[in-house]
Structure 1
Amino acid sequence: MLKTKNNAEIGSSIDINAVQTIRRIALVALGIIGFVVLLFTNSAWRNTADSGMDETIESIGLVLMAIAIVGRTWCSLYIAGRKKQLIVEDGPYSVCRNPLYVFSFIGAAGAGAQFGAISTAILVCTITIVVFAIVTHKEEQFLRDKFGRVYEAYCERVPRFIPNFRLWRPVPTLEIQTSLVTRTFLDACLFLAAYPVAEGIEWLQDTHCIPVYLLLP
């Protein structure tokens, strides 16, 4: 299931913890900016002949967020507590090098869809992809420094984000760190916060507490 370089104790010039901290700060900052912008926008589908369309988009978004929560939890079964020590090459990591991030993209799209517009789903997902792409580049530098040719071979065989299911490789047993898996599950559940936030903004707009300056398709 797991491979490591014989001299894996070799250090890396990349501070992986700092990279993850930057990722969190960037996502929080972008989330705050996005919230402020969405306060004054609304779905173009509302109050039209196709008013049910916004509800359909929101429902699809809920499904996407559920997929993200289940998917991220599933991935954590394989990698939680091992990311810095070993190269995980089985299960979801046999078809994609960053399945946790892929499920985050799906969850971000679902969160954006809670505002009843396809454009917000695409925008939120795109921003998340850009942030994680930068983080992934730094993480890959860290892993190359630490594992060398072993990691290079893994990169040559397995795609970064787009899964290749023909590469699927199961593992007969897993040693699970329940506390880390639970934390990943709870973190993933934060996607669901988009639902009450979007509903609250819609209520404020419907009661004319805040104005709407832009309608989004």
Structure 2
Amino acid sequence: MSLFRKSTKNISGQASHRDVNAIWNHLAHAQVVRRYALAILGVVAVAALLWIGSAWPEFGWVNEGLEWLGLACIIVAILGRCACMLHLGGRKGAELVSEGPYSITRNPLYVFSILAVFGIGLQTGSLIVGLTLAAAAFAVFRWIVGKEEVLLGAAFGEKFDEYCARVPRFWPRLKNWNSPAHVTADLEGVWKTLRDAAPYFLSIPLFEGIEAMQQAGWIHVRLWLF
């Protein structure tokens, strides 16, 4: 999401300092809810997937292809999130960022997160599982974006409205790409992004382990999905 600041001054023609701070506090609470929602989604998904199996043959080209596609999605998602942090360049909380990934979608970090969830789901060898998990993640992010845009509109006014008219909320508009020749790298932010994204790869041994237990008969599949 194009990032926002915790304003300490009244913005002419927009919300007052008190209003912006109230929205900020509400957003902080919403972000906590978002993290819990995603955590719950992950736990529920893993619990449900214990009883769900891929309808494609285990060593068939479709099953294997979906798993490799999922791995590619996870890698692209991590690299994309790092690119977002590079373009932020330590400006987080200081201004409305509309360059690089933020020039083609207002929420590149969320877009790449959804792509990662899709890739994680594909590690089951099921396209339906990947799409379902991605849709659930999209629903959570769409909700929090609505909260964020209230603050952004209050903090940046017409500038944010113009940005919304030019750049889509989620689906990238590639022809809009605009980036300066040089960016100030936020190496700490990039490192944190890599560290936080590392657990994505745990989905590979996790679902391989579930598949092994299903094949061994320790867990009985109740639903087969393509």
Output the CA distance in 2 between the equivalents of 1:25 and 1:81. Answer: 27
Q: Normalized against structure 2, the TM-score is what?
A: 0.87
Instruction: Name the residue aligned to 1:30.
Output: 41
Displacement of 1:210 in angstroms is: 1.3
- Please list every run of 5 or more consecutive structure 1 residues that lacks an aligned counterpart in the other structure: none
Equivalent residues in 2 for 1:1-217, closer than 5 Å: 7=10, 10=17, 11-14=20-23, 15=25, 16-46=27-57, 51-79=60-88, 81-217=90-226
Displacement of 1:174 in angstroms is: 2.0
- Please list every run of 5 or more consecutive structure 2 residues that lacks an aligned counterpart in the other structure: none
- 1:215 is paired with a residue whose SS is strand
Q: In the alignment, is the contact (CA less than 8 A) between 2:102 and 2:108 conserved in 1?
A: yes
| Residue correspondences, number | 214
- 1:87 is paired with a residue whose SS is coil
Would the alpha carbon gap of residues 119 and 80 (structure 1) be closer, same or farther in structure 2, given more than 3 Å must change?
A: farther
Letter paired with 2:48: V
Q: In the alignment, is the contact (CA less than 8 A) between 2:88 and 2:186 conserved in 1?
A: no
Output the CA distance in 2 between the equivalents of 1:172 and 1:32. Answer: 43
- 1:35 is paired with a residue whose SS is helix
- 1:13 is paired with a residue whose SS is helix
**Range 10-19 or range 193-202, more displaced:** 10-19
Would the alpha carbon gap of residues 85 and 188 (structure 1) be closer, same or farther in structure 2, given more than 3 Å must change?
A: same
Letter paired with 1:160: R
Output the CA distance in 2 between the equivalents of 1:152 and 1:76. Answer: 23
Q: In the alignment, is the contact (CA less than 8 A) between 1:80 and 1:181 conserved in 2?
A: no
Q: In the alignment, is the contact (CA less than 8 A) between 1:12 and 1:146 conserved in 2?
A: no
